[in-house]
Structure 1
């Protein structure tokens, strides 16, 4: 099944020389990337911040990015939209080496946590708090112990959990993600 990417707009606001609020950009996201080849998800990199609190400029500039990077910048945030096509047979046969290479290409080789016992070939964990919102379709959140299907309008709040996304619906799914840089508490030293 060929997935059609529906265009969406990214409207960026700022201020004019008088300090009045204005629209400074109104176009699709500038950075889009298909991951894993045909049948893989498409990442739309919408925006990211480099620090907290975020610097607010009169005329915010397009954030610079060298390729697709999975986590947000240190002490920053990242907003992305991902379109997940339905999982096909080729996707289900991914080997751990293939997925490790995909995560490495996104600057996140240490996030992959696949193996023979992994419940999904794209299991991974990041040091982030993530807000995932299903915009269209449905998708299954796969965890080490359990899974749940989430639908349009549902929101997932992840706190550094090992997870994967499985689109078993037969239709594309579009999700918005807000990733916030984090750190694991000392509790993880004993888990």
Structure 2
């Protein structure tokens, strides 16, 4: 699937509810796997309106108080640990940091030493200033929280409250998820107790 249909409503000049647009949204891929930006805003939206797209700088994370409705795919057999081609933690950290574009993936700084997660896929642990409400649509995704794995099956929901996380796909088919990402203020990742 390379496009997703999006129908947008609003109010016409006569005050009646109308369809403003009915179009196919193209996928983008700022990192691994296709992503579709369905609707987003960098702050609260006032209604009624004409259905025009609200301001959103994106491409993935909204400003605090904003939202982003998205759909994304994890490729089959995706494990971020395999992206780096090394088991050396220092080199993995260097390669991971170099792979992050702060414009597309603004991350919350983590004061903990790199590599504190032990679950498969933990080499890409990252934290965002957002609450990510995710529903598994098809396939299965595994979300990694340091040493914990959460396997999502179709219909399952996961709420990520600004915690360090990563994800992988252990199956031979893509994993498709729908998400509502809410921008939040984040006071920083806590220092882990020894």
| TM more than 0.5 | yes
Partner SS, residue 49 of structure 2: coil
1:75 matched to 2:77? The reply is: no
1:34 matched to 2:29? The reply is: yes
The residue correspondences of 1:29-178 to structure 2 (distance < 5 A) are 29=25, 32-36=27-31, 40-52=32-44, 54-63=45-54, 69-88=59-78, 92-94=82-84, 95-111=92-108, 115-118=114-117, 119=119, 120-178=122-180
Task: Call closer, same or farther: CA 1:150–1:88 in 2, change over 3 Å.
Answer: closer
| TM-score normalised by L of structure 2 | 0.77
Matched positions, count: 181
Q: CA deviation at 1:98?
A: 3.8
Q: Which has the higher contact order (CA 8 A, sep 6+)?
A: 2
Partner SS, residue 96 of structure 1: helix
Q: CA deviation at 1:187?
A: 11
In 1, the alpha carbon distance for the partners of 2:55 and 2:185 equals 24
| TM-score normalised by L of structure 1 | 0.78
Residues 41-77 of structure 1: CA deviation (Å, up to 9, x unaligned): 111111111213x2235322235656x5332123211
Residues 84-124 of structure 1: CA deviation (Å, up to 9, x unaligned): 11135787132433432443254435347693344423211
User: Over the residues paired in the alignment, what is the CA RMSD in angstroms?
Assistant: 3.0
Structure 1 alignment gaps of length 5 or more: none
Task: Call closer, same or farther: CA 1:91–1:63 in 2, change over 3 Å.
Answer: farther
